Amino acid sequence: MQPIKRLANGLAALASSEHYLYSPSDLRVLLADLSDQAFKTLLTRAVSAGVLQRVCRGIYLYPQTSVPQGLVLHHAAARLRADAFNYLSLESVLSEAGVISQVPLNWITVMSSGRSSIIPCAQWGSIEFVHTARTPDAVAPALQYDVRCHLWRASVMQALQDMRATRRTTLELVDWTAAKEFGV
C-alpha cells in the first residue's frame, strides 16, 4: 500500500473530535519504515492532497474529523508548548469577561514560561506567547483549568496584573467599572 494511503487509513482509525491535531512525531509512528527524507516529502504531499492541513510549523490537522469550532488555536497552543508552563491571559481573558471592548478575532494570548513569540496559524489566526518569569506556584490560586481549551485560564484579576506586568498598550481599553465586578 502506498505511504499516503497508509497515513490516511491510520488517521481515519485514530482521529476523533478530541484528537485531530498531530505533530510530525505523532504521524511518524504510522510510517516508521520510511526514511526521514521520504517522510518529510510524504507530509508535503499529504497537505497537497488534503489528507492533512498544516496549522503551523510542527502541527497538522486531520480535516476528516469534526473539529471543535473556535478551539483550534487553543488546542494548537497546548500542543506547541506542552513542555512549558502556559495559561490563557491578557486580552483573551479580558475580552471574554467583557472587561475590554476589543474582541481579538482569530488571536489568542497565552502567558508562557517559554520565550515570547507570535505563531501564525494559517486561516485559524495567530497565537501570541508572552514570556512570564512567574512560577506556577505564584499564580496557581488565580488559574483554573479550561477543559474545552486544554489550557489553564487566568482570572480577570490575574489577567489585569499580567497586562500591567507586560506593559500592554491595550490596558487603556479596560472598562474599570466592569473590572470592579470581578473584585479588582
User: How many structural domains is the chain composed of?
Assistant: 2
Residues 163 and 82 in one domain: yes
Q: What are phi and psi of 99, to 5 degrees?
A: -85, -25
Given this model, what pLDDT does residue 66 score?
85
Planar angle of CA 40, 45, 47, nearest 5 degrees: 100
CA 182 to centroid of chain Cα atoms: 26
Q: Quick check: 59 and 22 in contact, CB under 8 A?
A: yes
User: If pLDDT is split at 50, 70 and 90, which confidence band does 155 have?
Assistant: very high
Residues 87 and 9 in one domain: no
Range of the domain at 38: 3-61
Residues 25 and 115 in one domain: no
Residue 30 falls inside a structural domain? yes
Given this model, what pLDDT does residue 183 score?
66
CATH number of the CATH domain containing 30: 1.10.10
Q: Quick check: 151 and 133 in contact, CB under 8 A?
A: no
Residue 67 falls inside a structural domain? no
Rounded to an integer, the average pLDDT of 37-53 is 95
At 46-102, the pLDDT tens digits run 999 999 999 999 999 999 988 888 899 999 999 999 999 999 999 999 988 888 877
Beta bridge partners of 22: 60
Residues making up the chain, counted from first to last: 184
Best CA proximity match to 40, nearest among 155, 2, 31, 134: 31
Residue 38 falls inside a structural domain? yes
Kindly calculate the radius of gyration of the chain based on its CA atoms and give it in whole angstroms: 19
Residues 81 and 172 in one domain: yes
